[in-house]
Amino acid sequence: MVRILLLLLLTFSPAALAAREVVVYTGRSKALVEPLIQRFTAETGIRVRVRYGRDAQLLALLKAEGGRSPADLFWANAPGALLLAERRGLFAQLPKKVLARPSAFVPEKGDFVPLTLRLRTLAYNPQRVDPGILPRSILDLPRLAAFRGRIGWTPGYSSFQDFVSALRAERGEAAAYDWLRGMKALAPRAYTGNVAMLLDLASGRIDLALTNHYYVYQLKYGGPEGDFEGEDEEEESPPRGELPLALHPFAPGDPGNLALFTGAGVLKTARHPDAAQRLLAFLLAPEAQRFAAQRIHEYPVVAGVRTPAYMGPASRALTLAPRVNFAAFGDLEGTLRLLRSLDLF
Ligand SMILES: [Fe+2]
């Protein structure tokens, strides 16, 4: 009897009830997050409260809230945001059993985990461009004088900026400056959104576009965006397989094939660290990994997870990506300064 009473007390004490929830701050889209957390709650009984925003907004909010933040988990779109959170000391150490799940991109400090992969790529219009003339390296793109005014890019977009950060770190400040200046001399069209850019590519307004791989799949095979774009801005693209859009892989290891991880970490100030770790483990399980690949066309970080046939396996995508030091993504401020010095941002 005493044991039953004790059990009841434990089950219904405020601490036990509080552990039945987890608070997530995420830059990821509702279209990805909502179905996943519904499934998580159904499996575990743990309620999830989500605050959506862009990565940078949520980082600013975490800074303003400090130790009073209700957030348990920060789930970001971009390595730049994760590295910034790490540098600010926001993340707690994760247990080995969580860190052991991803097959790559686990930081040395073990304070966050990658969840999906997105690849930088060059998209082209196969009705207008013979891929045989496209360069083996993104560094040679500025030499394509014939494409003056006909290349699209997104200098304000986080993945483009993460690419510039990686280029600075791996090839040096001067090489990054020269590449940007060379590209600028080709009078590229600057876009604020990747979808608008790729629709211009498909309609022949431009011939080439620097983008992330999943935007091409989103337009051709349908589906939503993986980034949170604002309360009213999330929409699903219908499949339009006929669109003339193709991906040009640069040579294996080229910086133009950069792999960017999305990911999440448990905050040091978390009130529900155990529930937050359980959510991370759930997001790294094959079912959630497969769902992300099907829903938003991002590659799994866990080995052996099936991807849709048009994506090819994650292992192939990873053989193309350059090996990049994590620290490469840590200096977003320096990248923004460089872009501003060239009037690109
Ligand atoms: Fe995106």
Q: How far is the CA of 248 from the centre of ligand 1 (A)?
A: 18
Q: How far is the CA of 19 from the centre of ligand 1 (A)?
A: 33
Count CB neighbours of 337 within 10 A: 11
Q: Could you give the domains of the chain?
A: 2-117+260-310 (3.40.190.10), 118-258+324-341 (3.40.190.10)
Count CB neighbours of 242 within 10 A: 8
Name residues whose C-beta falls within 8 Å of residue 128's C-beta, 6 or more positions apart in sequence. Answer: 204, 207, 244
Sign of torsion over alpha carbons 210, 294, 260, 61: positive
Q: How far is the CA of 37 from the centre of ligand 1 (A)?
A: 21
Q: What are the tens digits of pLDDT across the range 77-94?
A: 999 999 999 999 999 999
Q: What are the tens digits of pLDDT across the range 173-200?
A: 999 999 999 999 999 999 999 999 999 9
Q: How far is the CA of 227 from the centre of ligand 1 (A)?
A: 5
Q: How far is the CA of 88 from the centre of ligand 1 (A)?
A: 24
Name residues whose C-beta falls within 8 Å of residue 158's C-beta, 6 or more positions apart in sequence. Answer: 55, 77, 78, 80, 81
Residue ranges for the chain with pLDDT beneath 70: 1-19, 232-234
Q: How far is the CA of 241 from the centre of ligand 1 (A)?
A: 20
Q: How far is the CA of 226 from the centre of ligand 1 (A)?
A: 6
Q: What are the tens digits of pLDDT across the range 8-48?
A: 555 555 555 556 999 999 999 999 999 999 999 999 999 99
Q: How far is the CA of 199 from the centre of ligand 1 (A)?
A: 15
Count CB neighbours of 39 within 10 A: 14
Name residues whose C-beta falls within 8 Å of residue 291's C-beta, 6 or more positions apart in sequence. Answer: 35, 36
pLDDT reported for residue 229: 78
- Binning the chain into helix, strand and coil, the percentages to the nearest 5 are 50, 15, 35
Spatial separation of the C-alpha atoms in residues 172 and 170, rounded to whole Å: 6
DSSP lists the bridge partners of residue 48 as 22
DSSP lists the bridge partners of residue 74 as 25, 265
